[in-house]
Amino acid sequence: MGTIFVLSAPSGTGKTTICERLIKSLPNLKMSISHTTRKPRIGERDGVDYFFVDREVFETMIKNNDFVEWAEVYGNFYGTSKKVINELFQSGNDVLLDIDIQGAKNIKKTYPDSVLIFILPPSLEELEKRLKQRKEEIDTIKMRLNKVKEEISQYKIYDYLVINDDLDKAVKEILCIITAEKLKTNKVNQQIINNF
Ligand code: 5GP
């Protein structure tokens, strides 16, 4: 069975670029597309960035037990669908999840073998600078910085901590984590051992 790799990072940490690089480098690693009630941002596409659904659909999915985990983040609902994960596993893939800390905790409960990676910006000052460059509202910036402080205080639920002070270095470090995890004896395909 494939492995789930969870990446959590405060917005402005470069997580989207990191995910794109990882997916390009590892053909068997696929992004799980979450469902959300958030409205699409400019350039976002349904079924590519998220499955954009309304609240009613999302609530029906919760009732039908369709999610491995779901959470409310900044007033919107986000969830990881069981069907999406199962289909990726069935086609022989590992799965990359870009979800928040609540989701990470719940994934670990359902999939104890999952690997949780937390990405940090070099400093809170640097993060604030990046958020300002993205022209986020001042209240949004404050809210996000507070959330980061709260998340950092819980960093021990993650298996790995990567600091993105240099994008190439951060991507390399995560690739090393993934490679090492896939070589663990309990993850090695039994067929390989049987050939000896
Ligand atoms: P954004 O709206 O900026 O795309 O995402 C906001 C936050 O929601 C990010 O921290 C992202 O990691 C998180 N998120 C995205 N999808 C999911 C999901 O399926 N489950 C959970 N728990 N969080 C998610």
Tell me: pLDDT of 150 over 90: no
Ligand 1 centroid distance, CA of 34 (Å): 8
* Encoded tokens for 190: 């039994």
Ligand 1 centroid distance, CA of 69 (Å): 11
Shortest-distance atom of ligand 1 to CA 80: 19
Domain boundaries, the chain: 4-185
Closest Cα to residue 35, out of 1, 2, 60?
60
pLDDT tens digits along 17-63: 999 999 999 999 999 999 999 999 989 999 999 999 999 999 999 99
Three-class DSSP category at 119 = strand
Shortest-distance atom of ligand 1 to CA 49: 4
pLDDT tens digits along 84-110: 999 999 999 999 999 999 999 999 999
Which residues does ligand 1 sit against, CB inside 6 Å? 11, 34, 38, 69, 71, 73, 78-80, 98-100, 102-103
Three-class DSSP category at 33 = coil
- Residues of the chain above pLDDT 90, percent: 68
From the options 3.40.50.150, 3.40.50.300, 3.30.9.10, 3.90.850.10, give the CATH code of 4-185.
Answer: 3.40.50.300
